[in-house]
Amino acid sequence: MSSNRPRVGVLGMIKGFSFSWLPSLLIILALLALWEGYVRIFDVQKWLLPSPVVIAATLVESAALLSRHAWVTLVEVLVGFGLALASGVALASMIAFSRTLERAIYPFVIASQTIPIIAVAPLLLIWIGYGLAPKVIVVALIAFFPIVVNMVDGLKSADPDMVSLMRTLGANRRDIFMKVQFPSSLPFLFSGTKIAMTFSVIGAVIGEWVGSSAGLGYLMIRSKPQFLTERVFAAIVVLSAMGILLFLFVGLVERLVIPWWHTERRKRALENSG
């Protein structure tokens, strides 16, 4: 009897996953079928709009080329995101730790997002030159804002009763921050991290568009003048897959780091449904 329980659990997980993603999968398949039918019926040239079949064939035929450039973009994304995460957490902690620092720094954090990143990227090439550094900085500039804003909100959302209790017990500001504020901010931090991860992919491509010698953005720029539109679409598919996988990876890390939050959320959902 006990040996059958894990099987039921696994089957339940598979069924739940299938049912949750089935509507999206059906919509995607329907759109691809309409796309393929439109191209075939109206005899659209592949340099203008390649069909899904042609794009799939390009993904297979150019797998080595796409993987080589995808690796360059992935490195830019991960390094830039890591820089944004480290600086974002440090900056948010400073803002939440001191009201004076919040008044001094927070307006600059908000103002940094009003500057078009496409205008900053060429300046980085002039100041730093071609290479990994300007792409990493572009990624970090785009990704750090949602991390900072969400974590600041999370640090400020700490239970005031718990903070008062810690003060009554003689805890100092550092103890309150580490034992109350920081743990309560983790769900907010991961929400910002998910957004930042997807932004990082966009930032890497923008940096490569402005100036690079490798990467999926570079491959797209080089393919357009040659009317290799199917390769451009293939690069977009790879970028989308990269963004989705990185987003799911952050979600997996979130479940491992703060399982208690997901448990509480499920309990609240069950209570509300009941």
Torsion, Cα of 176, 181, 184, 185 (10° steps): -160
Lowest-confidence region among 45-54, 115-124, 195-204, 257-266: 257-266
Residue 6 has a pLDDT of 44
Residue 7 has a pLDDT of 45
203-229 pLDDT per residue, tens = 999 999 888 888 999 999 999 888 999
Pair of tokens at residue 134 = 């300007």
24-57 pLDDT per residue, tens = 888 999 999 999 999 999 989 989 999 999 999 9
Closest among 256, 239, 155, 232 to 197, alpha carbons compared: 239
Residue 271 has a pLDDT of 67
Residue 262 in this model has a pLDDT that exceeds 90: no
45: left (phi over 0), alpha (psi -120 to 50) or beta: beta
171-206 pLDDT per residue, tens = 788 888 888 888 888 999 999 999 999 999 999 999
pTM: 0.85
Q: Decide: 154 and 189 in contact? Cβ < 8 Å.
A: yes
Pair of tokens at residue 193 = 């991290």
Pair of tokens at residue 179 = 């034992």
For 46-79, give one letter per residue: b (16+ CB within 10 A) or e. beeebbbebbbebbeebeeebeebbebbbbbbbb
Residue 13 in this model has a pLDDT that exceeds 60: no
Residue 1 has a pLDDT of 42
The length of the chain in residues reads 274
Pair of tokens at residue 246 = 């990185």
Question: What's the number of CA atoms in the CB half-sphere (13 Å) around residue 253?
Answer: 13
